[in-house]
Amino acid sequence: MIATSPFGKTGHLSTRVIFGAAALGGMKQDRADRVLEILLEYGINHIDTAAAYGDSELRIGPWMREHRKRFFLATKTGDRTYEGARASLRRSLERLRVDRVDLIQLHNLVDENEWQTAMGPGGALEALVEARDQGLVRFIGVTGHGSQAPAMHRRSIERFAFDSVLFPYNFTMLENPQYAADVEALLEICGQRGVAAQTIKSAARRRWQNGGDRKFSWYEPLRDRDALRRAVHFVLSRPGLFLNSSSDATILRDILDAAGEPPAAPSRSEMEADVAAFAMQPLFIPGVRDTI
């Protein structure tokens, strides 16, 4: 079984591995059902999806009739205006077949202009606060990809009392000194304010080197079990961090098996050896490639 930890100030004890339901986006229902059964097997109690994840919400919906009480259910909206976010949330509730979600998140809010729109008058945040007041959501979070995500999340937290953040966290990304400093500053404010810290891209090897090789995930994941275990432990050995599983469901069991072990922080030499052996690269490099 996977250990649990308080998910910020929400009062929920979430498993430290959160199921990243982008993995369901392109699946038929029977295949999605088999993946969701794995969550029951390992005791995962937190699902993270998004309006933009293909058919993910539709695949989860049939499960909510029987299993809603088992899961802390999170989704996201990529809309930046009040009307857009309001409509997006209502569509997500319909697709998920629920009356409310536990967490609604502003999806990938890192662009300056989008940030100003979403956080300003008539912006998406107003719709999410209204939905919380109406009982359609319980908590509000913000997510981000790219090297600017931690710094932008800190700005977001300083503007509004978000309940959670989500950002890339792995060895190769943290080799960038500025990114590492931004992560530390973000985690400091999260700790002070009781904001849950979710991490993504723990299992990333690099971007696909050949577009024709791309299958389930937009990045190439680690598949070597030992290297993947070290990547998982790199995250989970740090108290308070949650690991969102890969959008490649073929490595879900390997991630959960690794997470079921007592997390032992890998040494720097071990991580450097994996980088060399598997030609690992950071997914995001400021000024070079910083989008998905």
Phi, psi dihedral angles at 71 (to 5 degrees): -125, 140
For 271, half-sphere exposure in the C-beta direction (CA atoms, 13 angstrom radius) is 21
Nearest in space to 137 (alpha carbons), one of 92, 196, 184, 204? 92
Instruction: Give this prediction's pTM.
Output: 0.96
pLDDT in tens, 194-230: 999 999 999 999 999 876 566 668 899 999 999 999 9
* Residues in CB range of 41: below 8 A, 6 or more apart: none
Crossing angle of helices 56-67 and 82-96, rounded to 10°: 50
Enumerate the H helices of 195-282 as residue ranges. 225-236, 252-259, 268-277
Task: Express each pLDDT in 137-187 by its tens digit.
Answer: 999 999 999 999 999 999 999 999 999 999 999 999 999 999 999 999 999
Query: Helix or strand or coil: residue 215?
Result: coil
pLDDT digits (tens, 9 = 90+) for 227-265: 999 999 999 999 999 999 999 999 999 999 999 999 999
Contact 60, 36 (CB under 8 A): yes
Q: Which domains does the chain have, with CATH numbers?
A: 4-277 (3.20.20.100)
* Alpha helices, H only, the chain: 29-42, 56-67, 82-96, 112-119, 124-133, 149-159, 171-174, 177-193, 225-236, 252-259, 268-277
